[in-house]
Amino acid sequence: MRLPKTVTPLHYDLLVHPNLTSLDFHGTVEIQLEVLQDTSAVILHSKGLRISKAALLESERIHPLRVLHLPAFEQVALLSDDIALTEGEQYAVRLEFSANLSDSFHGFYKSTYRSRDGEVRVLASTHFEPTHTRTAFPCFDEPAFKANFTIRVRREARHIALSNMPKVKTVVLASGLLEDHFDVSVKMSTYLVAFIVSDFLSVSKTSQHGVKISVYAVPEKIDQAEFALNAAVKLLDFYDDYFGIPYPLPKQDLAAIPDFQSGAMENWGLTTYREAGLLFNPEKSSASDKLGITKVIAHELAHQWFGNLVTMEWWNDLWLNEGFAKFMEFVSVGITYPELQVEDHFLEKCFEAMEVDALSSSHPVSTPVEDPAEIREMFDDVSYDKGACILNMLRDFLTPEAFKIGIIRYLRRHSYQNTVNTNLWESLTNTCESDELDEGRLRGDGFCSGRKPHSATSKWYMEDDLDVRAMMDTWTLQEGFPTITVEVRGREVRLSQERYLKGEDPSQTSGFLWQVPLTYITSHSSTVHRFLLKAKTDVLYLPEEVDWIKFNVDMSGYYIVHSEAGGWDALIALLRHNHTALSSNDRASLINNVFQLVSIGKVPLSKALDLSLYLSRETEIMPVMQGLGELVPLYKLMEKRDMEEVENQMKGYIVHLFRGLIDRQSWSDDGSLSQRMLRSTLLLFACVRGYQPCVQTAGELFRKWRESDGNMSLPSDVSLAVYAVGARTPEGWDFLLEKYRHSLYSSMKRQIKVALSITPLTDKLQWILEQSLEGGVLKTQDLPNVLIQVSRNPKAYRLGWDFLRANWNRLVKKFDLGSPSLAQMVTGVTNKYSTREMLEEVQLFFGSLTRETGAGLRCIQQALESIEENIRWMDKHLPQLKAWLDRQGPLGQSSRPTGA
């Protein structure tokens, strides 16, 4: 399905004219080509386009071309009997084309919004990544075919047009239409091209480096653009300085699109976002909104270098774009907005990646892909989150200074080009040996000149030189991650590694070997010690005997640790007596690791639950969230079975564990960002679990808010808990829906939407699912989230599954085969099933699909594997869980569960 390398595009001259009344568009494209091998045909991409004319332009002559369509390959061949294209020569082809605006979320598509007075307004916007540029104009739609673009857009006077580059001029046509001419772009891949025709308004500022930054939104919401504008200015300046490579365009626009499937898109110079990912209101938006918006802007702006300036050669190395942008989100926001405490949230990305990476259906970070559905499947937790986590591990290993030098070298060496994995490893090797592109910088920051040849921090790999590529190939070219088993005998520490894998098939764990950069602290030394484990087993020696040893300090490594021979007992005792002896990340990683080890039979469940007891004294966000993240799924598995007694015992235990912390939460927006996010989570959890003090306060606040007709200002961090309690009655639910319809604030809408989806009222849940699919009251972009929320609802998990089955073909058409949205729906709806009946039902339905409707999608394998794992877990551990809860005595009797 790949294009031949016989010709390459140099320049596109594109004219596009969308009609927002008839909802179609037409255009012409003239492509300058260089011939790399003699050929009689030009083959390029086109999907769903009506090509009315095709011609070859050669000096003064115009030769008509025949167009041969290859729909299965999404390609066209341009042919002529009497022309041969000669190697080394340049030609141009001109094509005229037309199509309907797409009613999905990709290609050149239609989006709508409702104005204040109820009028539905239409705009047209693009989303081309990964393979949808070909649906907007014929092109060489592969990332390695970089070219320059000159774009012209026709529009009515009541609209504006935006594209990657600034507008140079506007021409008035005889028809009264206007034609905007945009400057020639830098050399870039087709998936980064963008254009929008809309009635948006904007606010602008100029960065310290002289770049004009503007935020665009629908007129009613432009007053919510200020926060994003300031963040974009600050972050673009940060990257400019950090990379030492000036942002290459004169402007950077950020546009909030009313209908948008993913979070955002990094089109060069015109980044596009969901409204919720860009618009912020200080009164209505919560702490997590502020963090989320800052991170998504940081992510898209990082792409202007990683992805746009330097682009992966092919989609198998998508992680070079996405893993880097995800990693740089945390680096940049940590430095520019320290008050957002972004470092408190990095770990959860690694845990999310491990969740998927622990299944045999996982894939290496760098994986061969061919067709568009396989390419779309690469946009997953492995490419983004695992990519970011292994980069973080490498940065910790090389030191942040050496890592920074290496990535700047990578960007400089490969600007405007395409790269593969190896190019990155080469740039990160011997970072203190200068090359001509480093321009003497390396000595300048004092890191290389001041470095001792074998200091403890810079070299932690004994005497042999580090081979970055050999080490990192073990993390990018094989799937999964290792369990490191540690056994301490006196001063001797025995180490061994094996693949961590859920499931029963031992053949899938053999043959895996990683080069693991181990870190550890001990009861006698808080200095971080380092050891590179390259073999299946190894031994290290401590200077003295210790009471405890904690490997994987702050969980900066992408592996989990099993402490044998009393190791866990020593760590559990430490948490019980003095949990602050370990950092909050270390505590969160112990909680995660011990429960993961239960799943593969290395640790008994009772030991993991014993460790969880210390949480009654925990106050930091990461360990509390991780504790909830390990314990809540246990009763979620029970809710889909008939076992109310043990289910309520489990719920009671969790409420009891966090009760002190819940009682200390104020119903306000006070505190640091992490404290505010923790409050939001805890109060929602307590109210949904029916913890009476919480339900009473939330119920009282809801009553007052409703009596004020929604005009009373609720603290934004607690409003979700208030709405959730309010949505339990039909009257409360209807009132919330009415407020949802008329709200202009994405944050408020998001919170109300969650509350509407976790109500116990099943008729309302059925209605909200149908509405989300129709895209009337709720936008279809929100359907994946609504469906997953409804499926988590113990009153409605069947509803979610039945809805997914009944509407599968419509969902595939709207969200695209292989897309992250479709994958989230499949796994989100099914991932807490734990009975053989449900497994058979899921197998039966997905087994009936054809290749065109999704047979063989990776998310289906993941869903089935997760259900099988849940069944195994319940069969094996349920009696132990019950016995352990019985030993704890009557807990949390004050919480009578209601709702979700």
Residues flagged as binding site for Zn(2+): 299, 303, 322
Cα 477 from Cα 480, distance rounded (Å):
10
Cα 365 from Cα 380, distance rounded (Å):
10
3-state secondary structure of 250: coil
**Contact between residue 62 and residue 54 where contact means Cβ atoms under 8 Å apart:** no
686: number of Cβ within 10 Å: 26
Which residues are known to be catalytic?
A: 300
Which residues have C-beta within 8 Å of that of residue 674, sequence separation ≥ 6?
341, 344, 620, 621
| Nearest CA among 829, 833, 878 for reference residue 641 | 833
Q: Look up residue 204 and give its DSSP letter.
A: E
Cα 559 from Cα 581, distance rounded (Å):
22
| Nearest CA among 652, 649, 576, 646 for reference residue 607 | 576
64: number of Cβ within 10 Å: 9
Helices (H), 468-547: 468-476
Which residues have C-beta within 8 Å of that of residue 738, sequence separation ≥ 6?
none
The Cα angle at residue 230 between residues 227 and 235, in degrees rounded to 5? 120
Can the peptide bond before residue 633 be classed as cis, meaning omega within 30 degrees of 0? no
Residue 177: Cβ-neighbour burial (10 angstroms; 0-12, 13-18, 19+): middle
Q: Could you tell me which residues are annotated as the binding site?
A: 299, 303, 322
| Nearest CA among 56, 322, 20 for reference residue 191 | 322
Phi/psi zone of residue 375: left (φ > 0), alpha (ψ -120 to 50 degrees), beta? alpha
The Cα angle at residue 448 between residues 446 and 454, in degrees rounded to 5? 125
Residue 607: Cβ-neighbour burial (10 angstroms; 0-12, 13-18, 19+): middle
**Contact between residue 21 and residue 93 where contact means Cβ atoms under 8 Å apart:** no
The Cα angle at residue 738 between residues 733 and 744, in degrees rounded to 5? 125
3-state secondary structure of 563: strand
Task: Report the amino acid identity of residue 243.
Answer: F
E strand or H helix that includes residue 719: helix 719-726
Cα 42 from Cα 67, distance rounded (Å):
10
Length of the chain: 900
Give whole-number Cα distances, 871 to 557, 634, 720, 860, 867, in Å.
30, 12, 33, 17, 6
Beta bridge partners of 51: 97
**Contact between residue 68 and residue 84 where contact means Cβ atoms under 8 Å apart:** no
Q: Look up residue 383 and give its DSSP letter.
A: I
DSSP states of 291-322: HHHHHHHHHHHHHTTBTTTEEESSGGGTHHHH
Tokens, residue 148: 């320059």
299: number of Cβ within 10 Å: 27
Sign for the CA dihedral angle at 689, 690, 691, 696 comes to: positive
Query: How far apart, in Å, do the first and last CA atoms of the chain sit?
Result: 46
Tokens, residue 389: 């986590």
Cα 657 from Cα 340, distance rounded (Å):
27
E strand or H helix that includes residue 549: strand 549-551
Tokens, residue 278: 């860009």
